[in-house]
Amino acid sequence: MRLYHGSIMTVHKPVISRCRSKTDFGKGFYTTTSREQAEKWAHIKKHREGNNEETRAIVSVYEFDETLLNSERYNTMHFDGATAGWLDFVVGNRRGETAHAYDIVMGPVANDKLYATISLYESGVLDAPAAIEQLKTHQLFDQLSFHSPDACSLLTFIESFEV
C-alpha cells in the first residue's frame, strides 16, 4: 500500500515525540492513501508556517504492507466510515480526553470542512445520527496513523517531492 504524508520537510523516519497531540486519532504520525489529500496538507502546513520563500510544501511517500493491519502483533483500530464510534473517538482525542494503546488507527479524516458538523455534535446541537448524516454529504478522505515507534518502523520511505 502506498501512503503519503504532507509536511514542510521530508520525513525519512517518523518520530512520535515530534508529532502533535489532540488530533483526530491522538498523537501519532499521519498518512493517507490519497496523494491529493497529502498535497493539501503540505500546503496547509506551509501556510501555517508563514508561507515564506524558505518554507516548502513537501510530500513524503512510503510503502506499507497492509496485511499488517490484521496482524495480531499490532493493536489496530479500523473505522469503516463516519460512524458514531469514530465520531466519539475523534472528539475525545481532539479534546485530549481519550487515551488509547493502538499502534495503528485507520479511518476518515475529520478535516476543516467537517469541523462545523463535529463542533455541532460536540456542543450537543446535533446527535450522532444527525451528525453522521451531515458528514455523509462530504468527500471523506482516509488517514492511517501510526502511534508507536514499532508501528512507525513499518513504513518504508520511498521518496519525497515538493508541491
| Mean pLDDT of successive 10-residue stretches along the chain, which has 163 residues | 97 92 92 95 90 90 96 94 89 90 92 75 87 78 95 98 97
**Residues sharing a CB contact under 8 Å with residue 98, sequence separation 6 or more, in sequence order:** 26, 89, 92
Closest CA to 57 of 132, 4, 131: 4
Kindly report the CA angle at 5 between 108 and 1, in degrees rounded to 5?
70
Q: Give the pLDDT of residue 82.
A: 85
Strand runs labelled E in 1-73 = 2-7, 29-31, 58-63
First to last CA, the chain: 21
Q: Give the pLDDT of residue 26.
A: 94
Closest CA to 94 of 14, 155, 22: 22
Q: Give the pLDDT of residue 18.
A: 87
- Residue pair 117/162 in contact (Cβ under 8 Å)? The answer is no
Q: Give the pLDDT of residue 113.
A: 66
Residue 59: exposed, middle, or buried by beta-carbon count in 10 A (0-12, 13-18, 19+)?
buried
